[in-house]
Every structure is written in structure tokens, then in C-alpha cells.
Amino acid sequence: MTRRRRAIALTLSTTLLFGVVPSAVLAQPAAPTEAARQEARDRFDRGLKLFNDGDNPGALAEFKRAFELIPNPLVLYNIGLVYSAMGRPVQAVDALDKVLAAPGTLSGDRLARAKQTRDDQAARVATVSVVTSVPATIELDNVEVGHTPMTAPLSVAGGVHVVGAVASGYVPTRKEVTVAGGATAEVKLDLVEMQGRVAHATVKTHLPGADVVIDDQVVGKTPLQNSLTVAPGPHKIELRRAGYTTARDTLQLGDGAEGEVTLEPEEDRTALGTLGGSLAIETSETEPVITVDGKSRGVYSADGLRLMPGPHHVVLERGGFLPVDRDVTVEPGRTTSIRVVFDPTPETRATYQGKRSSQRTWGIISGVGGLVLAGGAVGFLVWNGQQRTSVQGTLATQEAELATQTPIGSLCATRTAGSNGPQCAQLMQSEQSSINDANTRDVFGWIGFGVGAAATVLGVVLLLTNGDRLARDRAGQAGQSSKGFLLPSAWGDGRGGGGAGLTGAF
């Protein structure tokens, strides 16, 4: 992203109240439905995202659709800024003039920015006055813009343009004109009568920004939106662009005929090192396949691409995701950076949704099962502790009787008499064995509690992290900050102790 783009990006609004239409000038005849409001919000947010990703045409389309749904000065303000970033000063001035005329609740800062941008863009607007020898349809850069005699000059962006005139019974005439911002150029076109009807030539190519030359006369620049009107007969057609070898072909057209040629100029590799610039792409998915101007460049490398300066059409593809088209302009000797976020195909989205559903199910099973197991283990430990305490009490009583020979009714109280000594020893041994068994059962109880606690924690983690797995995975692949992870852990010391916990990173 260039400095100019960053500056503009900072001014784009990130909030929008589509529920209010603050100006009667922009008001709709009927109140918008909630569905229209929601679509407008979604498209506005998408427009911001596309603009920040460097996709100006995509952002413009989203903003314009949002404005169609609910006219709002804030949306129109952003439309004007995007037009400015696209180098379309005529449209930028038109949009910002409307904002300044009916600003509604637009903040003072934005109004100041709108006025400054409007004035800057107005300085780049030029005018072209066109006069023809006979009434004709006027084309500007191969797009029909009016008819002569014209009531007012044409407003154009300062630079190079092709002005053409087409009239029935006359040879189509075109002239290339260069006009600076704030200046006016006058173009006079003399049309010559011809025999027969005009023909139409369609020129196809994958290379944008190339001059279309017919019979040594520049008639337009690729991509052409329409076919070219020409006189019937033979024509030499060429595509020229600096840094590329000229591609040429001939076309023979009869009266009223239509013809087509496909021309693909080849990059001049010897000039690339001195004239070219670099294109760096940050992608949400690893190892996408990239195609530039109709030619595959294979798997994109993090080192970037060396390209001729000027416009290029880039297509990136990645298995499981929809292809992304992007128009970029590479500056000579500099690195142009763009960011591409792939949208998953319906099949990929379904796969991830299936994973989410599976994770949610296992989270519930693990959490509930862990609670049941941990609760059962706690109950078992309490019962086992009571049993051990009872036996320990009996054993302590017997040991006291042996020591004091106090007759309490136990076999051990008469041990000195000799008749009950073996029975007393056997009884005390049995009780000590019961205590040892209780201690052993404690180990299993704590293990059960630890496993249950760990399963419970795992279930909670699975449920808490069961958000948009696809977005999270893509963020990690793109090198963006992603959520941390948590893993449950449990332990026992073999002596009736243990615990459970979480380990992770953030």
C-alpha cells in the first residue's frame, strides 16, 4: 500500500448508521426495510475491507450498492475518496460536491477532508471541447459520451485521451489529445464521406494499458469496452506498450461486417531489469497459483514478482477457495504491495462447518462425561475416606488395649492370658490390610478425578474455541495474530495426591 493509499484509508469511515437518512436531498421515497439496512451495513463493511486490501474497484462496487440501498452522505463521502484513490477526479469531484451540498450529520473533520480532497481532485480535471464537420456521435476513449453540436465541453481527467467521431455515411475519425489538469483542449474532427456501411473490429487481449493502433493511428487503450467502428476494407491492427514487443495482425472487413483479432504482446525480458518494478502479495492462504495478464506464473513465491511498470490483471487461485481477480498498477523501480484474502468455496465452508459441529459434539460429550466421572470420583473418595477412618479408629482402640491391658471387651484385652493372642494378632493384621486397601483405592479415586477434571476442561476448551475455525486457520497462515491455545493436564503422585490444570500460550 502506497503512502497516498494509507492517507486515504485513514479517512474512510469505519462506522455507519444506516438507519437514519439525514438529508431530504438524499431521502428515499419509502423507509428502507430491515433487510435493506442489514445488506447496506454488510456491503459498507465489505467495501472498507476491500479498500484496505487494495481492491479499489471491488470497494467502489460495494459502496455504490450500499448507497443505492440507503442514500447517506457518509457512504457518498467514501465513494468520493475511493474515486480519488482510483485516479478518477471527475467522478470524485461529482460525488464530493453532492456531499458538501448536503452533508447531513457528517462530522467537521470529514467535511474538511471532503473539501480538501474535492479541491485537489478538481485541479486534476481538464475540459475538452469537440467540434465536428457534420453532426456525429462523440466517443471518449472508445466510450460514447455525447453528440455534436455539444452544449458544453467534456470534463476529463488530465492526461492522454482518444477523441472519436462516428456518423452514418462517414469514415470514423479519431484523434489523440493530451490535456493538463485545469486546462482546456479544443478538438476539431473532419469526417470524410465513404461508400458502404461502417464495420466493427473487436480487439481482444489479456494485457491492459496497451495502445490499440489501427492503420498507424492510436484509437484506444486496452481493455476496450466496445468494438471499434472502422471503414470497410483492409486494416493493420497493433498493440503497443512500453516494455513489450509489439503484437500485430491484419483484418479484412466488408460493408457492415464484424471482425475480431486476438493480440498478446510478449514481455521484453531484457528491459524488465531496468524498467520494471516489483509486486508483493500478502495472501491468506499458502502457495496460491498466480496468473498475470493471462499468463501463468506458477506458485507465488514470497520473494514477489518482477513486472513491467503499468497496469496488470492478476488472478490468484488456491484449491478449496474461490479465485481472486485484482487489477494492480506497478510503479517503476518500486515495490507495490497488495493483500488478498481468499473466500472458501461452499464445499470448503461445509467441511469446516462439519468440523465445528463435530468439535461441539465432542466438547459436550467430554464436558458432561468429565463432570460425571469427576463427581463420581469425589463421592468414591469421600466414602473410601470414611471406611479408612472407621478401621483406623478400631485399630487405634485395639493398640491402646494392648498397651494398657484395659478390658474393653476386645480379644486383645486378654492377650496376656494367652488364649486369644493369635486371634488378636490376626484381627489387627486384617484391619491394617483394610487401611492399605483404602489407600490404594484413593490412588484410583484421584486418577478418576484427574481424568474427569481433564475431560471437563477439555470439553470447555473445545466449546470455547469452537468459533470460526476457517477464519482462525486463515489468520494463522497469513501471519496475523491468532487466538492462543489451551491444553488440559492432570497428574497424581501415587500417594493419594494429584490435580488438574491448563497449559497453553497467548
Same domain membership, residue 386 and residue 237:
no
Q: For 400-421, how does the pLDDT look when each residue is reduced to its tens digit (9 = 90+)?
A: 766 665 554 555 655 444 455 6
Same domain membership, residue 467 and residue 368:
yes
Same domain membership, residue 496 and residue 364:
yes
Fill in the amino acid letter for 279.
Answer: L
Same domain membership, residue 428 and residue 453:
yes
pLDDT band per the 50, 70, 90 thresholds, residue 7: very low
Same domain membership, residue 490 and residue 374:
yes
Distance between CA atoms of residues 35 and 69, nearest Å: 10
Per DSSP, 170 falls in state B
Q: For 321-365, how does the pLDDT look when each residue is reduced to its tens digit (9 = 90+)?
A: 999 999 999 999 999 999 898 989 988 888 878 888 888 888 889
Asked if the peptide bond before residue 32 counts as cis, ω within 30 degrees of 0, the response is no
1: pLDDT strictly greater than 60: no
Q: Which residue from 172, 340, 418, 401 is spatially nearest to 410, judged by alpha carbons? A: 401
CATH number of residue 237's parent domain: 2.60.40.1120
Domain count for the chain, please give it.
4
Q: Which residue from 157, 304, 271 is spatially nearest to 221, judged by alpha carbons? A: 157
**Residues 373-400: what's their mean pLDDT?**
84
- Tell me phi and psi for residue 484, to 5 degrees: -75, 180
Residue 49 sits in which domain range?
3-122
Q: Which of 96, 122, 148 is the last residue of a domain?
A: 122
Same domain membership, residue 109 and residue 132:
no
Same domain membership, residue 282 and residue 153:
no
Q: What is the pTM of this model?
A: 0.66
**Residues 472-492: what's their mean pLDDT?**
44
Q: CA distances (Å), 470 to each of 47, 343, 473, 482, in order?
A: 21, 10, 5, 12
Q: For 151-209, how does the pLDDT look when each residue is reduced to its tens digit (9 = 90+)?
A: 999 999 999 999 999 998 999 999 999 999 999 999 999 999 988 889 999 999 999 99
Same domain membership, residue 496 and residue 368:
yes
Q: Which of 210, 227, 262 is the last residue of a domain?
A: 262
267: pLDDT strictly greater than 70: yes
**Residues 438-462: what's their mean pLDDT?**
88
**Residues 468-483: what's their mean pLDDT?**
46
Same domain membership, residue 402 and residue 489:
yes
Same domain membership, residue 256 and residue 244:
yes
Distance between CA atoms of residues 384 and 359, nearest Å: 36
Fill in the amino acid letter for 107.
Answer: S
Q: For 64-123, how does the pLDDT look when each residue is reduced to its tens digit (9 = 90+)?
A: 999 999 999 999 999 999 999 999 999 999 999 999 999 988 999 999 999 999 999 999
475: pLDDT strictly greater than 50: no
Is the distance from CB of 386 to CB of 377 less than 8 angstroms? no
25: pLDDT strictly greater than 50: no
Instruction: Spell out the residues 6+ positions from residue 274 whose beta carbon is closer than 8 angstroms to its own.
Output: none
Q: Which of 87, 122, 157 is the last residue of a domain?
A: 122
Q: CA distances (Å), 224 to each of 85, 221, 292, 348, 425, in order?
A: 22, 6, 18, 36, 108
CATH number of residue 102's parent domain: 1.25.40.10
Strand partners, 114: none
Same domain membership, residue 103 and residue 252:
no
Same domain membership, residue 113 and residue 253:
no
Is the distance from CB of 278 to CB of 295 less than 8 angstroms? no
- In this predicted structure, what is the pLDDT of residue 468? 57
